[in-house]
Structure 1
Amino acid sequence: MKYNDIIEKMTLEEKASLMSGKDFWQTQEIERLGIDSIFLADGPHGIRRQAAAANKPGLNQGVPATCYPTAATVANSWNAELGEKVGEFLGEEAIAQNVNVLLGPGINMKRNPLCGRNFEYFSEDPYLTGKMAASYIRGIQSYGVSACVKHFAVNNQEEKRMTIDTIVDERTMREIYLTAFEMAVKEGQTQSIMSSYNKLNGTYTNEHMHLMQDILRHEWNYTGTVITDWGGSNDRVAGLRAGNELEMPTTAGETDQEIIQAVHNGEISEEILDQSVDRLLDLIYFTETKTKKDPRPFDVEKHHRVSQKVAEESIVLLKNENNILPLTFGKKVAVIGDFAKDARYQGAGSSIVNPTILDHTMECFEESGIISIGYEPGFERYGKKNQKKIDKACALAEKADAVLLYIGLDEVTEAEGLDRKHMNIPENQIELLDAISEVNQNIIGIISCGSAVEMPWIDKVKGLLHGYLGGQAGARAILRVLSGDVNPSGKLAETYPIRYEDTPSAKYFPGKEKTVEYREGMYIGYRYYDTANVNVRFPFGYGLSYTTFAYSDIEVSKDAVTFQLTNTGQKAGMEVPQLYVRCQSDQIFRPTKELKGFTKVFINAGETKTVTISFDDKTFRYFNVQTNQWEIETAEYEILIGASSADIKLNDTIFIEGTNAPIPYDKEKLPSYYSGNIKNVSQREFESLLGRSVPSPYWDRTQPLGYNDMIAQCHYAKGIFGKLLYHSIVFTHWFLRKIGKRSQANLMMMSVYNMPFRGIARMTGGIVNMPMLDGILTMVNGNFFKGIYHLTKEKVKLMKNGT
């Protein structure tokens, strides 16, 4: 241990105290030993250091900070160096705000397009996600601030996220859901990791010995700190034993006593506690040097310009019929859409940043050179229909050479704690598009949202630009692409299906009660669409440019693939060549192709560059569930170079001598997985893949409600109090939406309706403890007066103890 001399001086009580927060955002300190508290803040795409006191829970407004484009946006840049630059600027701002640990980036896979938090995640592909995450981490930690990669692991839905049990096979877990975390640890050297809320194959992730010990600590040799998601601790001693050092937020000493008692009765050894303290001290000492000694203000204007540069490189041009873009000089445009006036630039939830500056489209026109003849909102932002607004918009559109139509999803549709109900853009916006197309066919759509949407209306626009969620400077960045000042170079980091029903996980998402089954296995995103030959709206890796590129002269060696890339157009631009690998053996089922490398290249008009993409330890590997390790199959491998997963430009083959591991599967028992047609996997076949029985997906309605049951389950509670509680929450949610308080309604669903009962104790900073919670559960389960007596007695006892 690094800090054995300090730990030897600690009492058992002091050691235990370090394992939980001091308040909502800070760790505990020990003054007599010179151990300071450190500050943790949300910050996947900007610092949200809460302006309210650190002991105040909730999603309070943060101190002003630069709101950079979200991870889903930056992933479209396919530029790891740009990601590292974002990380560096995040690190600099963390220093300025005395933040030690930045809670991000989020690297969960986009298993399903409806996950409400997809705007915070990079991609549907683990390799692209891992490379971008590692770059962010290196940038953040270059300033002596710790990144905190989240949410570990297999956390891919927001609904019931604190109780849902993810059922997934080992190979899928390793290849799809853990690879990016592995890269974050090994390549990014992240100093901290946040465990997720969910269960994984029956065990909460922060108590999961296989995940936390076998894989994270032993296989990946991770020596950093693991931090619970806020309120994500179930059994504190089991979590500590698994290596989850820091519980957040504070429980006012309640779980400290659990740890002390567990050491006294031999449930956990003091040596394990010492190791946990040692790792936490390493995090404290790693981060406190610069944050304590070198706080300095950052250059607000410079960081705003960087945010704009990042947004510019992340914008994706999806359609450009008859080269309607860039806008020619002198063309008069009508600007229509509520998002043009008030930019949609970030998601909702714990990642909300209070921006230092905020650009809006209508305020940036003069410098763009684009001639605007006027603006009309055209639609109500939150979906209400308004024919007068449509009529005014059409009247303006009739006078213009072209229409810039700003559409997308609103702030309360994409939010932490909730999943989307569908993939549609609101109907009132599509009605506006339909009406405008009757009076002006030169429509350029500009989409603002952080996730994939259906586009049955795409034939009615000649140009389509996707800005995703471009941060505080995103509006100006979009205008620079529209005007041609910037040549778009973004490529989609996720597939856009034609309709939601085409999505491989559509029948298995979300888990509605106890479990969510990953029956699609490794076939998520393009891995499924390309293997099963399903047509999509836009493939993974797709994006247009104002110039053209030609690929030629592929050469494959044992270490890399090399080829020539030529800019055959009239403008300088950036292209993203993508390396995919296809194994030509059919002994072990695989997707038809998998991303194994990429690079981003700037090329002047008429120029040719030699491009090399190296192979690495992930190029040919697969996880063998029989040997329980990574193996390489002896086979011919096709090396594919493409402009997207569906646009392969060059190909060659290479023979790879593998590890000659035994074939782990019986092909006859897994026909869906060998074909890739996984839309209707039977329970029997899924159990063959898992190697065990599938647990019941339903809540047991015969048992009393307990700590890990959700408040939503009170609808079948045995006591009238529980049922009244349920109905009052449902009514309040309906009423808040009815009167337009959508954000508050969402917050109620996230922090009350879907909260397990233990969360009442874990998230209230000691105001409610577990004995008091026992009283609440007694009331819910039908013994109201006995429960209220117990609750009152325990509250009095808590107050007498001075808590």
Structure 2
Amino acid sequence: MAGNPGTSPDDRARADQAREAAVEAALGKLDLDAKTRLLAGQDTWSLPALPEIGLKSLVMSDGPIGVRGVRWTADDPSVALPSPTALAATWDPELARRAGTLLAQEARRKGVHVLLAPTVNLHRSPLGGRHFEAYSEDPYLTGVIGAGYVNGVQAGGVGTTVKHFVANDAETDRFTVNNVISERALRELYLAPFETIVENAHPWGIMTAYNTVNGTTMTEHRHLVNDILRGEWGFDGYNVSDWTAARSTVGAIEGGLDVAMPGPRTVYGAPLAQAVREGRVEEATVDEAVRNVLRLAARVGALESAEPVVTELPAPVDGSALAREIARRAFVLVKNDRGALPLRPGTVALIGAAARDARVLGGGSATVFPAHVVSPLDGLTAALPEGTLRYAVGADPATELAVAGKGFTLRAICRDSDGNVIGTASAPNGQIQWMGTDLPEGVTHDRLHSVELTGTFTPRDTGPHTFGIKGAGRFTLTVAGTTYYDEVQHPAEGGDRFEAFFGTPVPRAQAELTAGEQVEVSLTLVVDLPEDMPYKVVAFALCHQEPQRDADELIAEAVEAARAADTAVVVVATTERVESEGFDRKDLALPGRQDDLVRAVAAANPNTVVVVNSGSPVELPWRADVAAVLLSWFPGQEGGAALADVLTGAQEPGGRLPTTWGPLSDAPVTQVVPDHGELHYTEDLFIGYRAWEKAGRTPSYPFGHGLGYTEWTYESVEVDGTTAKVRVRNSGERPGREVVQVYLAPTEPDADRPARRLAGFAGVEAGPGETAEAVVRLPRRAFEVWDEATAAWSFVKGSYEIQVGRSITDRRITATINV
């Protein structure tokens, strides 16, 4: 639980009482209008200050792998950690806590009080578009990693907002879908991580989701929010809507929603004050919401009359070093035949567009802008002896345009309706995302008529370059003095309301350019914001695609490089059009010709290592043909350096799978598209490894699987009550870390219960020949089921087998207990 180190429980209790007194005193000074104003965003990212009670403006920011701050721009860089799937793959709550400590440091640097993270929805289906942004398919692993993260952030004096409460497990029709879920599945699966985090980390905030659950939209779900979250679990933090999710003034406030974001136009503020005056809402209900917001302010130090929870900040954290450590600890080596890794001395052919232009994070609101990125090519160039590395593109996963990046130098020019310049700003990544009042100095929405992205582009390849536009509105696109497009680009029919941020770029021009020869480029948008928009957003992007060489020719070049090398390392990847916010995946295939590339390289060089750069599962149809497969997830800004550490053997890959990998044709749960507005969770308790086992199907790589560079022998397990002590021996030739996994299986089969479930785990380290003991305490909840008849948890007595091993399928030793 967050707090100053060294303080006693009694001291913390007295401090809590003092903060509560300050909150009550502040609340008593506010009139109805001030109260309701405090519950509505004043802009995109903040709540209003109330100087009359010494309340500062509370500032929020997206996460979860970094802290973007209130500006969506590469001008304000952030440390970019590996994806949440990567963090969960470390199976290390302490490492998650350290990640949280760094993010609190980043938040304070950017003036942020509350981080809108972590995401603890489950990997119900591998097709979920934001799969990479959540931790795991298992509720226990998700809860434990999430609790570590929350404890770390809040120990740094910054609030967290655990999201998305609840069952926001897919993106299709996310604003309107009614997810129909049994009470038992809700309790045992989808609510479970939130409950674990509330109990073990005491989060200061929670975010209710867009979707509906069993007929009630989550921002109005009194049963799940007031009865369970606050009532049963004792959550005393603030509850904020997902952005634009709140739909009803009375329904939201009575459903337990404290804050409606973003502002300034929300269902709270003046509409809420009016509802109170008309007798449709009790003022005491408003007071309770205000109390929760003031308590948050007191905890983070934004209420002058209250001492914040944290007065002694943690020691500074080296962001780059921690990002590199998490990445290498997260890499999962799923196959390593003939000792292909670590790399043997000799020459290496590095192949793949993603090896040069790394994808280090997922798309959507999780996006941050790191000051630098270490690609696999950068990392291996630095790590390997000079002259031993050769690079070939091989195949490009990007089949669509991407936001203008390398080679572009751009700025934004704002003009009024008369064409006068009223402001300028840099635009280092070719994308404008101005939300609310986040406009260039001197610019207001009332005066802003047009925004021009203008500057230069220096190609790195000769040939036909494609330019395009992401966004909607009247655009003019000019390249090298020629105007290629001067029309209205309409939004996609039925598209996500945040399409300007997450939508598909549309190609609008093709220009023959010469490598190294700089040309002028310009993209102008005539700003026409609808009056009924809940908040003002100016968002569009200049997009670009390099000349597309013949795919067979590129693969042939890669094969030649592989044939001449001792080892071929192929980096394959997904793109932002495969894994991002706002849409779900259609399949699990790698985009482009990457599968063909791997097959061709493996045929030319039997010592082929494939690095899979994706945030969530993809199909690996060639996995039997290659020597080694290493999953790197989205590895963050230091991913290439971490990859070099692992490939060369300077560090071992430490990850274990937090989710099952297998082909879509065998995946037991694949339905993410609603039918007539409803998505029925017909699989009930059986998602992830539970479903694979029930269906009797064998995945490509099972939950918990992961190899290191040493071997482990499981020697014994002793059980004392519900504590398992497991002795393992490092039977290999180098030091290593093992994740000892404990699964609990009822000895009497029950069709309504999974055959086994993860009940605990522990990481141990040992040198060659040394032994280590893992102590795993099995929680009471592991022996309980939700009884829908009594609406209560039921402890299931009987005989259980404790199964200990390296994955859900690699169980080495067992013991039996009776409870």
TM superposition score category, shorter chain reference = 0.7 to 0.9
Paired residue type of 2:66: G
Helix, strand or coil: the match of 1:597?
strand
Deviation at 1:621, TM superposition (A): 1.1
Correspondent of 1:503 among 639, 646, 667: 667
Corresponding residue for 2:747?
A: 584
In structure 1, distance between residues paired with 2:804 and 2:709: 21
Question: Who is 1:516 aligned against?
Answer: 679
Which residue pairs with 2:331 in the alignment?
315
Alignment of 1:403-802 (within 5 A): 403-497=568-662, 499-506=663-670, 508-586=671-749, 589-656=752-819
Task: Report the 3-state secondary structure (helix = DSSP H, G, I; strand = E; otherwise coil) of the residue aligned with 2:201.
Answer: coil
Match of 2:183 among 145, 170, 186: 170
Query: Are 2:150 and 1:137 equivalent residues in the alignment?
Result: yes
Pairwise CA distance, 1:644? 0.1
Deviation for aligned residue 1:150: 0.5
Match of residue 132, structure 2, among 119, 128, 149: 119
Farther off after superposition, 617-626 or 246-255: 246-255
**1: distance between equivalents of 2:752 and 2:597?**
47
Structure 2 letter corresponding to 1:338: A
Q: Give the conservation status (yes or no) of the 8 Å contact 1:576–1:598.
A: yes
State the shift of 1:610 in Å: 2.0
**8 Å Cα contact 1:38/1:288 also seen in 2:** no
Write out per-residue CA displacement over residues 704-726 of structure 1, whole angstroms, 9 at most, x where no aligned residue.
Answer: xxxxxxxxxxxxxxxxxxxxxxx
Select between 93-102 and 508-517 the one with higher mean Cα deviation.
Answer: 508-517
- State how 1:113-512 maps to structure 2 within 5 Å: 113-252=126-265, 255-288=268-301, 302-329=318-345, 331-369=346-384, 372-383=388-399, 386-497=551-662, 499-506=663-670, 508-512=671-675
1:561 Cα deviation (Å)? 0.9
Q: Equivalent residue for 1:40?
A: 60
Flag the structure with higher helix content. Answer: 1
Is residue 110 of structure 2 the alignment partner of residue 97 of structure 1? yes
Q: Say yes or no: does 1:31 pair with 2:51.
A: yes
Amino acid at match of 1:562: K
Deviation at 1:459, TM superposition (A): 1.8
Cα separation, 2, equivalents of 1:521 and 1:396:
50
Local SS of the residue matching 2:713 = strand
State how far apart, in whole Å, the 2-side matches of 1:155 and 1:34 are: 37
Q: 1:222 to 1:343 in 2, by over 3 A?
A: same
The answer for unaligned runs of 5 or more in structure 2 is 1-19, 400-547
Q: Tell me the equivalent position of 1:22.
A: 42
Deviations 1:301-338 (A, max 9, x none): x2101110111111000111111111122x21111101
Shift of 1:255: 3.2
In structure 1, distance between residues paired with 2:741 and 2:206: 29
Cα distance in structure 2, aligned partners of 1:548 and 1:22: 57
Structure 1 residue 642 displacement after superposition: 1.5
- Whole-angstrom distance in 2 between the partners of 1:152 and 1:172: 14
1:450 partner letter: G
Gaps of 5+ in 1: 52-58, 657-803
**Cα contact 1:96–1:298 (8 A) shared by 2:** no
Whole-angstrom CA distance in 2 between matches of 1:381 and 1:594: 37
Q: TM-score, normalised by structure 2?
A: 0.76
CA apart distance, 1:501: 2.5
Query: 2: CA distance between counterparts of 1:376 and 1:512?
Result: 45
Q: What do the CA deviations read for 1:749-785 (whole angstroms, capped 9, x no partner)?
A: xxxxxxxxxxxxxxxxxxxxxxxxxxxxxxxxxxxxx
Alpha-carbon displacement from aligned partner over 1:774-798 (angstroms, at most 9, x marks no partner): xxxxxxxxxxxxxxxxxxxxxxxxx
Per the TM alignment, residue 439 of structure 1 is displaced from its structure 2 partner at its CA by 2.2
CA distance in 1, matches of 2:374, 2:704: 28
| Separation of aligned partners in 2, 1:27 and 1:222 | 21
- Specify the code of the residue in structure 1 equivalent to 2:720: S
Secondary structure of the residue aligned to 2:206 is strand
Give per-residue Cα distances to partners, 1:356-406, cap 9 Å, x unaligned: 221122222344236633111111231376222112212212211110101
Which whole-Å CA distance do the structure 2 matches of 1:404 and 1:156 have between them? 34
Instruction: State, as a whole percentage, how many aligned pairs show the same letter.
Output: 32
Give distance in 2, aligned partners of 1:655 and 1:296.
46
Deviations 1:225-268 (A, max 9, x none): 00000001011221111211011001436632221222123222
Residues 397, 592 of structure 2: 8 Å contact kept: no
Q: Distance in 1 between matches of 2:312 and 2:38?
A: 25
Alignment root-mean-square deviation, CA: 2.0
Q: Tell me the SS of whatever aligns to 1:516.
A: strand
Contact persistence 2:723–2:777 (CA under 8 A): yes
- Tell me the distance in 2 between the aligned counterparts of 1:369 and 1:400: 14
What amino acid does structure 2 have at the position aligned with 1:460?
D
Contact 1:61 1:354 in 2 (8 A): yes
CA distance in 1, matches of 2:268, 2:710: 61
**Which 4+ residue blocks in structure 1 deviate beyond 4 angstroms?**
59-62, 289-300
- Aligned equivalents of 1:380 and 1:655: distance in 2? 56
CA apart distance, 1:207: 0.5
2:58 is paired with a residue whose SS is: coil
Higher strand fraction (1 or 2)? 2
Amino acid aligned to 2:242: D
> Counterparts of 1:363 and 1:611 in 2: how far apart (Å)?
38
CA pair 183-293 structure 1, distance change in 2 beyond 3 A: closer
Relative to 1, partners in 2 of residues 1:356 and 1:556: Cα closer, same or farther, differing over 3 Å?
Answer: same
Aligned length: 645
- The aligned counterpart of 1:715 is none
